[in-house]
Structure 1
Amino acid sequence: MTTVLPNVTLIAAVGRNGIIGDGLTMPWHISEDLKFFKRTTMGHPMVMGRRTFDSMGALPGRRSVVVTRQADWSAPGVEVAHSLPDALALVADDEQVFVVGGGEIYRQAMAYAARLLVTEVDQSPEGSVTFPPIDAADWAETAREERSGFAWVTYERRG
């Protein structure tokens, strides 16, 4: 059984159809949302899968922890973990931790997360990578800010 960690937040931009990307890139470029992502994650560690890291690299002002099964993988300025629990252990003492993708990491991290910050994008793009379903039995929508073509939505874990 996994334990919900109060400092773990998943942050993602998700299309109406659940798509978050095609395995290489995001299907949209929403400048306002990228600024929100930067503002929100600045100064906090980000946990991500290797393919997500490959697509965005290490971002300034944020600690990058990359989860990979490749035993010999490394990148400058990046901490490596070989499982999500190992990655979360590396950042356990941080006040706030953001899980930033991709799809498999989101699926695994959902059980640990206390909060979801989801940009609901008003598009249904082609793609192969999805965000896990948000079960209303587990998650309560606590904030919504409508924008042009998308909404920033906050979910808090119930109970």
Structure 2
Amino acid sequence: MLGMIWAQGHDRAIGAHGTLAWHIPEDLAMFKRVTSGNPVIMGRRTWESLPERFRPLPNRQNIVLTSNSDFKAEGAQVCTTIDEALAVSDALNPDKYVWVIGGAQIYKSMLSQADALVITDVDMTVADADAFAPSIGEDWELVQAEPNRGWLHSTSGIDYRFSALQRKISASSDSKSQADSSQREVIPAQQRVIPATQRAFYGNSDPLRIFS
């Protein structure tokens, strides 16, 4: 299964001039918990934006997607197509879920293949934002929110909230698509419970506590 994880400010802004506009330790901790032990796919710019001491991201198979076949990323696997990146992630660890972690163009290009999203909404307007998360439309079902209403308050002074969504199963899907999606149980938003078959996807054995 393929998941995407990102943090976004107002108007889906995720960055400006190659940097994040906020520092939220609680979001970083959630990101680490959810993605650890799984392959992560990122674009070249996202890789280069990581501080060198954090490259590659530890306890994760790092895959860098770039059109430059000569690009080198020490400690990571470089791929030049989405299909190659997905094939590599499966070969590295076929029993693990794969997380797309940025940037904007990678999210946009791979959204149609994603099964789940974990989104941090940040109560902030990003001046001069030049990178944006994709519009996800009505194809997604909210399965958990933290908090259910309002905002959490970070130790850094910023308000934020978490959401986990999974792709809806369309009643008009053909039989093959239905078979491929048979393990994806759609849960009513008000329940906010991750189905047992997907607990590992969110990196936590307790389906009610994805984010904390």
Relative to the length of structure 1, the TM-score reads 0.92
Please name the residue that 2:135 is paired with.
133
Q: CA RMSD in A?
A: 1.0
> How many residue pairs were aligned?
152
1:88 aligned partner: 86
What is residue 10 of structure 2 aligned with on the other side? 16
Give structure 1 stretches of 5+ with no counterpart. 1-6
- Spell out the pairing of 1:139-154 with structure 2 (5 A cutoff): 139-146=140-147, 147-148=152-153, 149-154=159-164
Matches within 5 A, 1:4-153: 7-56=1-50, 57-92=55-90, 93-126=94-127, 127-136=129-138, 138-146=139-147, 147-148=152-153, 149-153=159-163
**DSSP-derived class of the 1:26 partner:** coil
**Local SS of the residue matching 1:29:** coil
Moved more, 114-123 or 89-98: 89-98
Q: CA deviation at 1:70?
A: 0.8
Deviation at 1:94, TM superposition (A): 3.9
Secondary structure of the corresponding residue to residue 112 of structure 2: coil
Alpha-carbon distance in 1 for matches of 2:76, 2:143: 33
Question: Once the two structures are aligned, what percentage of the paired residues are identical?
Answer: 36
* Contact 1:13–1:119 under 8 Å retained in 2: yes
Residue 22 of structure 1, CA deviation = 1.7
Q: Does 1:155 align with 2:157?
A: no
Take 1:90 and 1:9, find their aligned partners in 2: how far apart are those partners? Answer: 16
More helix by share: 2
Q: Which has the higher strand share?
A: 1
Shift of 1:95: 2.1
When Rg is computed on C-alpha atoms for both structures, the one with the higher figure is 2
Q: Relative CO higher for 1 or 2, CA cutoff 8 Å, sep ≥ 6?
A: 1
> What does the per-residue CA deviation read over 1:120-139, in whole Å, with 9 as the maximum and x for residues that have no partner?
11112121000000112x11
Runs of 4+ in 1 over 4 A off after TM superposition: none
Asked if the contact 2:69–2:79 (Cα under 8 Å) also holds between the matched residues in 1, the reply is no
Q: Which deviates further from its counterpart, 43-52 or 139-148?
A: 139-148
User: In the aligned structure 1, how far is the partner of 2:62 from the partner of 2:145?
Assistant: 28
Shift of 1:23: 4.2
> How far apart, in 2, do the equivalents of 1:124 and 1:130 lie?
12
Asked whether the 8 Å contact 1:23–1:51 carries over to 2, the reply is no
